[in-house]
Structure formats: C-alpha cells, structure tokens
Amino acid sequence: MITDNITFDKLLSDIDLQIEVLNAIAADNPILNEQLRLLLESREMLVLQEMEMHRLEDLIDQDELGDHTAIIDQQADEA
C-alpha cells in the first residue's frame, strides 16, 4: 500500500520486513509465532486506521475546518 504519507509507508515497509524475517525463522517457536501474529495484527490495524482517517478527512468540509479549529482553540484558552 503506497500512500502520500512517507512516514506511514516507511512504517509499513519496516513491519513487512519484520514479518518476512519472522516468517522465515519462526517455525514452531511459540514466542516468534506470537510476535508474528502481533505484527500482522498491528499492520492490519494501522492500515485500517489510515483508511478511516482518509474517510473522515473526506467528510470534513475544508471551508468549515478553520471554524472548528477556532472553536477548539477558544475552548482551550478558556480552560
């Protein structure tokens, strides 16, 4: 998955490399297999989170974004 976020792409690339290495050496080792499972789940969750963030960005009207930011800033100043 290639996105416009270089940091996210690098993170996925690093996770994919770790998954590839663990696949090659895990065999029947329960600790390595658990680490592999956790990496696979983490990768999946990161991809789903990135897709959800893009979906939410599409729902936000860019013209109103400044208004919401100003309201949040105002509330933070009052606190």
- pLDDT for residue 76: 72
Q: Which has the higher per-residue pLDDT, 29 or 1? A: 29
CB atoms within 10 A of CB 41: 10
pLDDT in tens, 35-76: 999 999 999 999 999 999 888 888 877 666 666 566 666 667
Dist CA 74 CA 79 (whole Å): 9
Q: Are 23 and 35 in contact (CB under 8 A)?
A: no
CA distance 54 to 42: 18
Dist. CA 79–CA 71, nearest whole Å: 13
Q: With 0.85 as the threshold, say if the pTM is over it.
A: no
